[in-house]
């Protein structure tokens, strides 16, 4: 079996602990991809010293030149797209169409970042004084700690690291334990594209050990984390105490609202993709379906037929609609929510059990599951499950649908199917989410727009688009006084001055 390494101080190295973990295919537990390092704070220490050297070099590299490296990264990813998608599906489970999309999101992010190297705008504004200039500009911050989840093994690391790098920071990358192979491939691509080796460090291992050590390290002033709200709170507490700059992307409990006047066929396609794509393991997954009463029964009937027909299987096989969950713990978590839903009196209409059949035995498969008559406020309706479980809530009016949508602690995405333009704009105005889709599902964010959520989904920052560049750079202001005299702001130019 292949043994993989960390990438530290410009070399592929074994972990200080000498210990490794197995990375298995979630569609087939007997298929082990390789052994990956269990890193600890000793590995981190070496990585930080090297990343600081990397930072000194990289911050002096002109931003357009940094952007050129990312353009090469995008070119290599484009060339290797098919092969990357295949290794990602083997490691993470979602069907090839989806992993191809995941790689494409990385490619889009690379080209956006490359062009941003030629912008990184500051502002030049008039000074209050004569013969004095005033301007703002951006500076890199330092070593960035990048902690990423398993569900978008390529896209999410690229969302974070490409802008971090174009802004001139160096990165210490700690990928989720479930997807170390994709992370390794990404670091190889960086190196092939010409990124100076000390600018990127890759540490595999457990979140509670090496992830925690990164968050607590005093020489890492910048942390970007995507994961659960519980872990995010701990990360936030540490970063708050240590005055670190932190971007959090956490849970969701996203709803698709279908109103009486909607195009039901279109809304069916949306909810199937939103709820069961990526086996429901997206922060943007459709976890709630809010149906207005007149179309409720008809829509549910149409949906059940389609959900029951979805094909569960190995994402690398043709015809698979839904892949496995990521691991045993995820499977258990989903099963626990099925018990909770039943205890709360919701109607289990389909699914509610592990994948059946010989070819599914060796993987973490769970059938697409739909609960109806779910009460707003119940645990099933409130808590993030991160699996293929959809809860249906019945409402009378659009206003009630909006209130149910807003009645959770999360606020990532929402979706409204309606033909009424007034209701559509009302939704854009009133739904408490970072993203609202009209006549499209809760998933499908594009790389060049800001991505993120309100309430306990995030902490106010956005990934993607132009906004993420604010996070990865510090604004500095420069004043140049060429008057040759002392000009006192707010005093010498104060028109009402008595002197």
Q: Which two tokens stand for residue 44?
A: 């981190």
Q: Which stretch binds ligand UN1 (CB under 6 A): 54-62, 115-123, 281-289, 379-387?
A: 281-289
57: left (phi over 0), alpha (psi -120 to 50) or beta: alpha
CA distance 139 to 286: 39
Task: Between 15 and 74, name the residue whose CB sits nearer to ligand UN1.
Answer: 74
Asked whether position 445 contacts ligand UN1 by CB under 6 A, the answer is yes
Q: Of 40 and 286, which has the nearer Cβ to ligand UN1? A: 286
Question: Among the candidate windows 49-57, 193-201, 388-396, 442-450, which touches ligand UN1 by CB under 6 A?
Answer: 442-450
Q: State in Å, rounded, how far the first CA of the chain is from the last one.
A: 84
CA 138 to CA 257: how far, in whole Å?
41
x/- letters, 98..137, toward ligand UN1 (CB under 6 A)? -------x--------------------------------
Active site residues: 249, 283
Q: Which stretch binds ligand UN1 (CB under 6 A): 21-29, 277-285, 292-300, 471-479?
A: 277-285
Least distance in Å: CB of 448 to ligand UN1?
12
- Each residue 50-69 as x (binds ligand UN1 by CB under 6 A) or -, in order, gives --------------------
189/443 with CB nearer ligand UN1: 443
How far is CA 296 from its chain centroid? 32
The window from 65-73, 309-317, 438-446, 468-476 that contacts ligand UN1 (CB under 6 A) reads: 438-446
Q: Which is nearer to ligand UN1, 216 or 249 (CB)?
A: 249
CB of 161 or CB of 283, closer to ligand UN1: 283
Stretch that binds ligand UN1, among 130-138, 166-174, 276-284, 362-370 (CB under 6 A): 276-284
Contact call for residue 201 and ligand UN1 (CB under 6 A): no
Q: Does residue 433 touch ligand UN1 according to CB under 6 A?
A: no
Scanning 135-143, 193-201, 368-376, 439-447 for contacts with ligand UN1 by CB under 6 A, the matching segment is 439-447
Question: Applying CB under 6 A, which of residues 59, 138, 181, 282 lies at the interface with ligand UN1?
Answer: 282
Q: Does 248 participate in binding ligand UN1 (rule CB under 6 A)?
A: no
The Cα–Cα gap between 46 and 52 comes to 10
Q: Provide the sign of the torsion angle of the four alpha carbons 277, 280, 281, 285, taken in this order.
A: positive
At its nearest, how many Å lie between ligand UN1 and the CB of residue 23? Answer: 20
Shortest spacing between CB 445 and ligand UN1, in angstroms: 3
CA atoms lying within 13 Å on the CB side of residue 287: 29
Q: Is 252 exposed, middle or buried (0-12, 13-18, 19+ CB in 10 A)?
A: buried
Nearer to ligand UN1, 20 or 112 (CB): 112
Sheet architecture: strand order including 347-350 = 347-350, 369-372, 389-395, 286-292, 254-258, 413-417, 435-438
Q: Is 47 in the site for ligand UN1 (CB under 6 A)?
A: no
Shortest separation between residue 449's beta carbon and ligand UN1, angstroms: 10
Q: Does 284 bind ligand UN1 (CB under 6 A)?
A: yes
- Among 356, 404, 360, smallest CA distance to 381 is for 404
Asked if 151 interacts with ligand UN1 (CB under 6 A), we say yes
Binding of ligand UN1 by 246 (CB under 6 A): no
180-192 helix and 81-92 helix, angle to the nearest 10 degrees: 160
Among the listed ranges 75-83, 160-168, 280-288, 312-320, the one in contact with ligand UN1 (CB under 6 A) is 280-288
Query: Cα separation of 348 and 334, whole Å?
Result: 14
Q: Does 370 bind ligand UN1 (CB under 6 A)?
A: no
Q: How far is CA 38 from CA 29, 176, 205, 429, in A?
A: 20, 12, 4, 47
Q: Whole-number minimum distance, CB 58 to ligand UN1, in Å? A: 27
Among 55, 58, 152, 162, binds ligand UN1 (CB under 6 A): 152
Distances (CA, A) of 290 to 254, 272, 293, 403, 437: 10, 14, 9, 11, 14
Using the rule CB under 6 A, is 443 a contact of ligand UN1?
A: yes
462 binds ligand UN1 per the rule CB under 6 A: no
Q: What sign does the dihedral 432-436-441-444 (CA atoms) show?
A: negative
* Nearer to ligand UN1 (CB atom), residue 282 or residue 354: 282
Beta carbon of residue 452, minimum distance to ligand UN1 (angstroms, whole number) = 10
**Binding of residue 444 to ligand UN1 (CB under 6 A):** yes
Residue 283 binding ligand UN1, by CB under 6 A: yes
Select 58 or 112, whichever has its Cβ closest to ligand UN1.
Answer: 112
- Total binding residues toward ligand UN1, as defined by CB under 6 A: 9
Summarize as ranges the residues that interact with ligand UN1 (CB under 6 A).
105, 151-152, 282-284, 443-445
């Amino acid at each position: 079996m292949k043994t993989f390494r960390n990438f530290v101080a410009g070399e592929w190295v074994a972990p200080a602990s000498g210990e490794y973990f197995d990375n298995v295919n979630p569609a087939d537990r007997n298929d082990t991809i390789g052994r990956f390092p269990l890193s600890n704070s000793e590995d981190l220490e070496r990585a930080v010293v090297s990343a600081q050297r990397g930072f000194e070099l990289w911050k002096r590299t002109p931003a357009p030149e940094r952007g050129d490296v990312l353009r090469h990264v995008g070119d290599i990813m484009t060339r290797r797209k098919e092969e990357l998608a295949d290794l990602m599906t083997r490691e993470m489970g979602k069907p090839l169409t989806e992993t191809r999309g995941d790689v494409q999101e990385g490619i889009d992010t690379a080209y956006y970042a490359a062009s941003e190297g030629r912008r990184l705008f500051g502002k030049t504004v008039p000074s209050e004084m004569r013969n004095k200039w005033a301007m703002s500009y951006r500076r890199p911050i330092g070593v960035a700690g990048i902690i990423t989840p398993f569900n978008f093994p390529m896209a999410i690391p690229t969302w974070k690291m490409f802008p971090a790098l174009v802004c001139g920071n160096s990165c210490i990358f700690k990928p989720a334990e479930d997807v170390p192979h994709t992370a390794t491939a990404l670091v190889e691509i960086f190196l092939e594209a010409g990124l100076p080796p000390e600018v990127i460090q890759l540490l595999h291992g457990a979140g509670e050990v090496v992830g925690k050590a990164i968050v607590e390290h005093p020489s890492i002033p910048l942390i970007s984390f995507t994961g659960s709200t519980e872990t995010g709170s701990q990360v936030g507490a540490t970063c708050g105490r240590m005055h670190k700059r932190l971007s959090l992307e956490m849970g969701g409990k996203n709803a698709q609202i279908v109103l009486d006047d909607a195009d039901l066929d279109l809304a069916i396609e949306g909810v199937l993709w939103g709820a069961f794509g990526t086996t429901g393991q997206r922060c943007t997954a459709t976890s709630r379906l809010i149906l207005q009463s007149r179309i409720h029964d008809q829509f549910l009937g149409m949906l059940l037929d389609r959900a029951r027909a979805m094909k569960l299987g190995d994402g690398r096989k043709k015809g698979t609609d839904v892949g496995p969950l990521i691991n045993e713990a995820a499977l258990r978590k989903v099963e626990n929510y099925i018990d909770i839903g039943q205890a709360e009196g919701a109607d289990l209409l389909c699914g509610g059990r592990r994948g059946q059949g010989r070819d599914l035995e060796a993987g973490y498969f769970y059938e697409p599951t739909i609960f109806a008559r779910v009460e707003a406020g119940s645990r099933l309706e409130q808590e993030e499950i991160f699996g293929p479980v959809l809860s249906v809530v019945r409402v009378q009016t659009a206003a009630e649908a909006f209130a149910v949508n807003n009645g959770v602690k999360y606020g990532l995405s929402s979706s409204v199917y309606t033909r009424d333009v007034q209701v559509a704009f009302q939704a854009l105005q009133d739904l408490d989410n970072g993203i609202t889709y009209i006549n499209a599902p809760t998933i499908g964010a594009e790389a060049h727009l800001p991505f993120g959520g309100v309430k306990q989904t995030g902490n106010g920052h956005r990934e993607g688009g132009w906004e993420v560049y604010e996070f990865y750079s510090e604004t500095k202001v420069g004043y140049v006084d060429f008057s040759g005299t002392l000009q006192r702001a707010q005093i010498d130019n104060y028109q009402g001055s008595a002197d």
